Chain A
Amino acid sequence: MTTRTLPRWSRVEMAQRVARDIPDGSIVNLGIGLPTLVANHLPQDREIVLHSENGVLGMGPAPAAGFEHPDLINAGKQPVTLLPGGSFFHHADSFAMMRGGHLDFCVLGAYQVSASGDLANWHTGAADAIPAVGGAMDLAVGAKRTFVMMEHCSRDGASKLVPSCQYPLTAIGCVARVYTDLAIIDLSAGKAVVRERVAGVSLEELQRVTAIALIDPRES
């Protein structure tokens, strides 16, 4: 049997799908990397407050060239702006917002996610790798809902959705939903329920590249 190359969502299409699912009035933290793209696709008719771990609520888009402020940066250390109503606070307050369950959503990248929602996204565990964790562990356990955005498969073609994570864990059972370049999958009570697939990709094809059992309520 030959396996065809599956059509995939682009990074922008993934970001659009995450943005679509964030309701008006939400307070959201977007992780570094792929999740940062979501900010560019939040619907204009919704008021969504972005939190940055270094001490900002109400973070706005990148400033125009020449308008950068050296003391106004995001968690990725890039220049940002502050929207009207925005505020600054110290690091313990910023992480109390996360850890105290005050954020509605966080969106994180991942190396692997398990069927039970375990997340591995901070360390490959390789002998020569220098570990760095940042705020990943706090965000993962603290936000009311944790979304993951990641490629469905690693570069060598292995499923990044796994029965149990091989990489060191960031947090146990924290991931509610995964947005990949092939599908949107809800994780709940150990079940992986497909909410959307790339047009033209069958459940069987999706299952073939996924190392955990998928359920699609539309096909039962």
Chain B
Amino acid sequence: MIDKIRPDSRAALADIPHGATIMIGGFGTAGLPDELIDALLEQGARDLTIVNNNAGNGDTGLAALLAAGRVSRIICSFPRQVDSQHFDALYRSGRIELVLVPQGNLAERIRAAGAGIGGFYTRTGYGTDLARGKETRQINGQHYVLEFPIHADYALIEAEKGDRWGNLTYRKTARNFGPIMAAAARITIASVYEVVNLGELDPEAIVTPGIYVQRVVPITRERRT
């Protein structure tokens, strides 16, 4: 029998080693897997590479993981925010490596990893500092830059409902990076607000089929509404 449901976040994250590359879903607070990030903080893995659109907000979640000195490298598109003080301090003192990626390249490179694509040409970034040193090519009169996939050891994502096969649905803009990160990581851990019986999710409405998900952790909506 296939049963991907795990009792709690701690059990789901227990095997994450030092030096792992971890994708974390979310855009703003929508889809940010707070519980899983807190469990990662508690779990103790260090020297991590984190892939997220941003670089932490405020003092909790990803920002707390950064503040604890556990992240050596971050791959993101928009680190600078009004409340990104922990990242800002680490970056200015040279204690974290920033890999800045245009947001569409971030999304497409993650998608490419999940789809087994070895690289792709895109117009985004051509002629800018973010394409410096990268291979370019002219195709049908347009200039393109070669970009490579971003793989991960783990993905931590937040979904809405899940079943024991790992099928997932999302809620509104909380979907954001979830589906593509799930496909790009070797082990995807999804927190869900509701575990449903197999067959209860409308097959026409499943956004992430269970093939991309290895562990499902039920959580409650206490901390957020």
Which residues of A come within 8 Å of B, CB atoms? 52-56, 69-73, 77, 82, 88-92, 94-96, 98-99, 123, 128, 130-138, 141-142, 168-172
Contact = CB atoms under 8 A, between A and B. Distances in A.
A134 B81 CA distance: 11
A95 B104 contact: yes
A137 B173 contact: no
A134 B78 contact: yes
Given A71-B31, A99-B104, A130-B79, A137 B125 contact: yes
A56 B173 contact: yes
B172 A88 contact: yes
B103 A53 contact: yes
Given A56-B173, A91-B176, A137 B104 contact: yes
Contact of B180 (A91, A137, A172): A91
Interface in B190-225: 207, 224-225
A92 B172 contact: no
Contacts of A56: 173
Contact of A90 (B53, B91, B180, B225): B180
Contact of B103 (A95, A128, A172): A95
B171 A92 contact: no
A137 B128 contact: yes
Contacts of B105: 137-138
For this complex, into which size category does the number of interface residues on chain B fall? 35 or more
B124 A141 contact: yes
B127 A172 contact: yes
Contact of A70 (B78, B122, B225): B225
A188 to B, nearest CB: 18
Contact of A99 (B87, B110, B122): B122
A172 B110 CA distance: 25
Interface in B153-198: 170-180
A95 B129 contact: no
Interface stretch (B6-14, B22-30, B35-43, B63-71): B22-30
B80 A90 contact: no
Contacts of B174: 71
A128 B91 CA distance: 10
A120 to B, nearest CB: 9
Nearest to B177: A91
Contacts of A95: 103-104, 107-108
